[in-house]
Structures are given as structure tokens and as C-alpha cells.
Structure 1
Amino acid sequence: MTRQPAPPVPRAAAPDDPSPGHITRSWPRASALLTITPLLRYAVARHAVPPGTVCRTGCDACGAPIGPHRPWPALGPTARCGGCGARVGAPPATVELAALAALAALLLTRPPAVEVAAAGWWLAFAVPLIFIDVAVHRLPNRLTWPAAVGTWLLLGLAALTGAGATPWLRAVAAGLGLALFFATTTLLLGTRGFGIGDAKLALSAGALLGWYGWSVPVLGLLLALTLSGLVALGLLVSRRARWSSHLPFGPYLVLGTLGALLLVW
């Protein structure tokens, strides 16, 4: 009599593995969160102006007002004025793609809920800051300060709900230390150093990284410096920049921070 092989026993999914059901349930919430992209576009359009200039309230070409009360089409993916068709703010679809990438990182890595809230809050300000810094080389206080305050408070909530005081104190110290580093280069080197806006952004970026250990802020800074160095080298080789050119560092600080977080989540 021939013995029949035993049927294979299905392997249980590991607790940390993102199951298809979890991802399927998460995408509707992700789609709902993408509805905030008009607000992100509004922040870019309003604050992407030279220092000392009044914040933008309408289309530069025809003066048609823009704002959250009339988000379409100027604050939609097409980024075109409804009156004259001129482009408003960031290039078409770029803010939406950046927000989608940030949400995908949160959904696929699945850090604890309160840490997701802290990272999500920070990214809601970091995404428009990238586009503003690229456009006009500034990181406005109206975005950097709320990013820092909200991140610190949400991490404090994580400390109160079980993580304990140690990671929160380390996060605060890391944020202050990274900000002091950037501010010191500004004071010592002037325009050849980092900007004060970078120091204010570092308050929140450093806190997020410091929550996970002392080495993580160092890793984030190294990633940011490496990315900016590679881009600067490429611009020099292609003669699109000179040694005296000033390049914004905010986008690289955001990308370096997100890269370091993805490695520890």
C-alpha cells in the first residue's frame, strides 16, 4: 500500500511581517490621508517666497486668490490657476508623489502607533519644507516651529504611554544637540555654514532620530551629508553650480532623517 504524503502545513505569518490583509485595510486610510495634499500645496505656494516678502495669497500671473476655501484646481495635482492656467507652487504631481512615498514608508514599516503619529506630524511639515527650500532657499518659522513642538509633544505622549522617560529625554537632547551643531556652523562660517532654518528643522529631525538611540542621529546626519555631497559633486561636474554656489540643505536633512528611520523601524 502506497503511503500518501502529508499535506503541507501552512506557515503562520511572522508577527512583524506586513500581511496582505493589513496592507489592504491600510490603503483606504492612506487614500484618505492623501486628501491633505491640497494643504501641503497651499503651504508651499504661500511660503515659497523670498525672505522679507509677504506670503503669497494668489496667482502671480493674474492675482486670482488661492487658499483652502478654493483648493481646485490650483492646489490640486495639476497645480494650475483656474483663472489663467499659470502654474502655482510646486510642479504638478510632485507633492502628491512625495506624500504617497511618505505614507508608503509608514504603512510598510509599521512602527508603534504613537511613533507613527509623531513621524506623520513631522512629515506633514517636512514635505512642504523640501519644496520651499529648493525653490527659495529658506525654511520658514511657521513650519519649522510647529514641526518641532508637535514632534516633541507626541514623543512625550509615547513616553507617558509606556516607553518611559529615557527615550524622550534622549530625543530632546539629540534635537537640541543637532540644532546647536547647525547653528554653530552658521555663527562660525556665515553663509558657508548651515542656515538657522536648518537648525530649527534639526530640532524635530534630531528628536525623531534620538528617540531610537544616540547612534541614529549620527546616521541620519551622515546620510544627509552624503546625499548633499553627491548632488553637489554632480552639479559641479555638469557645470550647473560653482564652488561658491549655495545649495539648500533642508531636503537632504529630511531625506537623511527618513532614511535613518527606515533602517530602525
Structure 2
Amino acid sequence: MVGLAPVLRLAVIRHAVPAGVASRAACEACEAPIGLGRPWPVLGPTARCGRCGARVGPAPGAVELAVAAALGVLVLLGLAGGAGGGAGGGWAGGGPAVLAATAWWLGWAIPLVFVDVAVHRLPDRLTWPAAAGTWLLLGLAALAGAGPAPWLRATAAGVALGSFFAATTLLLGPRGFGLGDAKLALGVGALLGWHGWAVAVCGLLLALVLSGLVSAALLATRRVGWRSHLPFGPFLVLGVLGALLLP
């Protein structure tokens, strides 16, 4: 997964653009075309364009650090699954397929966090594959021996959580969550719902509490105003990790 860092950085660079712009196609400083080959760009920890040396995308080392953290989470979850036993929803019940579903979701969640922080958007090109791949891999886990019950619960949780976020958008407008959050929530609900309704609720509550605490801190230090809108995607991702890592 560490070797994916340049690809994930490229995904952030391409998709961290304002609404209405399809994607970033070139360096804004020298207009070198974006790609993984030379001269554009050095997609490593330096975060510099290979042609002009301009700063490109997230801060140096930020994506690599996020990938290392995700890898650490997967190791902890893998150890927890190896220590468990039995069948049904959970790490042991689904075997490697559940861990693969988690790895797949994290692979998309990392660029989504950086994009949401940069431009307050969660692009469809990242949210839909995250949700669809997670759901399909959990289906494989069900076929591998966990049975249909946890997969059906994961499906219901994904639809329920996505519908909740979408409803706030429709009812509250700009004061609610965005549709991007609703699409991200589809994969979140499926991944957490596999492990139980309590885990799904825990993840949502953790995200809301973290968001509230950060918002209160920023308001207290006057770094944001009452009408400011914080991106919720990063808190939702942190809520997922917290819920999965809790005993």
C-alpha cells in the first residue's frame, strides 16, 4: 500500500479543483502536463513539480504519512481478526475479504480527505468507486463463509447512512451535509454495518463529536465564523477508524 502514495497524491492533485472543473490537467506554474512519468511531477514526499519545482498538491510527506497510518490501521485490524474466532459479522467471520474491503475503502478515503480539506468537495469519481468496491468485497466475504446476514446488514446500513446525509441536504440546504458526504456515507455505512449496527452508530457519533469539538475550538480562537462551513469528510473518516479500532 505504501507504493500507492504517488498514485494517491496524483488523485488529490487532479481532483482538488473547484466545482464545475473536471480535473487539473497541468501544473499551474509551468503548465507541464500531469502524469506519473517525467518531467511531471516528482510525486513523492517533496511535493514539487519535476519541471519548475513549484509546490504541487498536499504538503510534503502528508500523503505518505496518511498511507503509513492507514497501513498501521490495517495491521492492527488484521491482528484483531487473527485473534478472533467464529463466524458471522466481524473480522474473523469474513476473513481476508473483510480486510480487503477495508483496505479498498481506505485507499479512496485518503485522497478524499485531502480533496475535501482543500476545496470542500467530495468528487463522484472517488466516492462511488469507494462505496461500490467496499460493498462488492463485503459480498465476497459473505460468500467466503460469513453468510448473508452481515452483508445484508452492511447494505442496509450503507443505504440508511447515505439517506440520512442526503436528507439533511434536501431539508436544510447549505446548512446540512453535502451530497458528497452522502455518497461517502454509503461506503462508510456498509463497512461499519458489517460489524454491527452499534459500530455504525458509534462511527457516526464519533464523527459528529469530533466535528463539534473542532468547530468549537476554531470558534473560540476566532479562526472561523458562525457561518463558516467545515468539511465533514475528514471527520467521517476518523469516525470510521475510531469505531473499527475500539474494542
Q: How does the TM-score come out when normalised to structure 1?
A: 0.85
Aligned to 1:4: none
| Cα distance between partner residues in 2 of 1:176 and 1:221 | 14
Aligned to 1:179: 162
Question: What one-letter code is carried by the residue in structure 2 that aligns with 1:199?
Answer: A
Tell me if 1:90 matches 2:58. Answer: yes
Rg bigger for which structure? 1
Match of 1:117 among 84, 93, 100: 100
- CA drift of 1:105 comes to 1.1
Q: Per the alignment, in what secondary structure is the counterpart of residue 60 of structure 1?
A: coil
Tell me if 1:195 matches 2:163. Answer: no
- CA drift of 1:203 comes to 0.4
Q: Per the alignment, in what secondary structure is the counterpart of residue 196 of structure 2?
A: coil
Task: Indicate conservation of the 8 Å contact 1:66/1:74, yes or no.
Answer: no
Aligned to 2:140: 157
Q: How many residues are matched?
A: 232
Would you identify which runs of 4 or more consecutive aligned residues in structure 1 move more than 2 Å?
68-74
Please list every run of 5 or more consecutive structure 1 residues that lacks an aligned counterpart in the other structure: 1-32
- CA drift of 1:83 comes to 1.6
Deviations 1:66-89 (A, max 9, x none): 213348753111110112211111
Match of 1:42 among 10, 14, 24: 10
- CA drift of 1:58 comes to 1.5
Which deviates the most, 77-86 or 174-183?
77-86
Deviations 1:97-154 (A, max 9, x none): 0110010111123133111100000000000000000000000000000001100000
Please list every run of 5 or more consecutive structure 2 residues that lacks an aligned counterpart in the other structure: 82-94
Distance of aligned partners of 1:246 and 1:71 in 2 relative to their CA distance in 1, 3 Å threshold? farther
Tell me if 1:126 matches 2:109. Answer: yes
Task: Indicate conservation of the 8 Å contact 1:171/1:209, yes or no.
Answer: yes
Match of 2:75 among 72, 86, 107: 107
| Cα distance between partner residues in 1 of 2:222 and 2:39 | 39
* Paired-residue identity, %: 68
- Map residues 16-35 of structure 1 onto 2, 5 A cutoff: 33-35=1-3
| Cα distance between partner residues in 2 of 1:257 and 1:166 | 21
| Cα distance between partner residues in 1 of 2:39 and 2:190 | 33
Aligned to 2:34: 66
Q: How does the TM-score come out when normalised to structure 2?
A: 0.91
Question: What one-letter code is carried by the residue in structure 2 that aligns with 1:183?
Answer: A
Task: Indicate conservation of the 8 Å contact 1:171/1:210, yes or no.
Answer: yes
